[in-house]
Structure 1
């Protein structure tokens, strides 16, 4: 066990981290150059998708997905996953197989290269400083959800500290309701163990992405959104591994 931990530690810092940094820079530069010229529908999605897949494989993670048959590639959705780890992004981006944009925290804009590339890719940074700024962020999100492009929004707002499911906020559901788009719950398993929120030690393991049935919103009233929030939260919870319940 001690030998294994030492080998994983050496692999992480001598192989994984250097290659990951190079892949990230190549991907960011590709998006920064190509997306403004040729549009972000392709260049904001496919380079990051393969960056994400390579990151999962490079981290020696085994990935399992199910539920792809529930989706239509020509349909736009609002995806609402639980948030276990930074590896959630790699898992969803790499293996959902749906052209997506992300709603991200404003603080991520400050990450060198990545923040600027994210902006050019069409991802939306949420400004929570006041209600007006937050509403403007939601309007920007709506501009990106066209022609089969979908949006991923973490309803918990932040990564879990315990692996357990947190309280859901309503922002994603307001966007879906306003645009009359289906909401798709996504259950993420295993990412919490691969890399904890406050940790730096990589633990290669199994990750799973479960794609649930889309839930229509076009006939819901605004008063019924609370029920939709609870319904999708229960759906995500139902597919969590036992240790996360």
Structure 2
């Protein structure tokens, strides 16, 4: 039964994404003259992604601590990563951040086109040149007042355990003196683990926005990184 439902749900996504993308192009064209940071387009994309979470009868999502996230001003948001579903549920925060995501996602038809339209940031894992370009782009976005959303583990966990964090997000926060917002994502791995596309039983996912960390309260980016990881680990 779950296999049949999974096929139907993915087919529904494939069929409706072009319709949503047509709307995204229209939003982009209308707001282009006055919305340089593409905030309206991102919020439209957030509604697009969250739609799939809320129409799925197997999924329930609860968000706590959302009021901690700013509507204005640069910040770095970091979350644990256990499932593809993480992306959908984090969009449901409805805050104007820019995603930092692996290059492969940008090559996916329609989804990748919308990511480029939004000005999200691609990175090729293992490529030093790509990482430098990503960091340069993130520097410009933070300087312009755009928050960033990053998965500091670098990839989805294979066993459900929180992996070590990479340094990039925390180097950016220290250099720009902007807060780090740790975010704990609960329950998504139960819906869709790293391998396979068959949806699992009913899940109750939860996003928990934790208290922000100020770079000035830590001696360096490494200490900030470790504090963010400890905060998420404790919440999980």
| Pairwise same-fold verdict (TM > 0.5) | yes
User: How many residues end up aligned between the 2 structures?
Assistant: 230
Structure 1 runs not aligned, ≥5 long: 1-5, 241-245
- Could you tell me how far 1:147 is from its partner in structure 2? 6.0
Match of 1:29 among 22, 27, 39: 22
CA contact (8 A) 1:181 1:218 kept: no
Structure 1's consecutive aligned runs of 4 or more residues displaced over 4 angstroms after TM superposition are 218-221
In the other structure, the counterpart of 1:199 is 196
Structure 2 runs not aligned, ≥5 long: none
- Could you tell me how far 1:37 is from its partner in structure 2? 5.6
- Could you tell me how far 1:220 is from its partner in structure 2? 5.0
User: Residues 226 and 146 of structure 1: is their aligned pair in 2 closer, same or farther, counting only changes over 3 Å?
Assistant: closer
Secondary structure of 1:145's match? helix
Alignment of 1:167-178 (within 5 A): 167-178=164-175
Distance 1:118 1:29 in 2: 13
Kindly indicate whether residue 6 of structure 2 is the aligned counterpart of residue 12 of structure 1.
yes
Q: Give the alignment's Cα RMSD to 1 decimal.
A: 2.0
Distance 1:164 1:130 in 2: 25
Match of 1:79 among 77, 80, 91: 77
User: Residues 59 and 146 of structure 1: is their aligned pair in 2 closer, same or farther, counting only changes over 3 Å?
Assistant: farther
Distance 2:16 2:144 in 1: 29
Secondary structure of 1:210's match? strand
User: Residues 73 and 147 of structure 1: is their aligned pair in 2 closer, same or farther, counting only changes over 3 Å?
Assistant: farther
CA contact (8 A) 1:182 1:216 kept: yes
TM-score by length of 1: 0.86
TM-score by length of 2: 0.89
Secondary structure of 1:120's match? helix
Distance 2:193 2:234 in 1: 22
Distance 2:61 2:182 in 1: 18
- Could you tell me how far 1:89 is from its partner in structure 2? 0.6
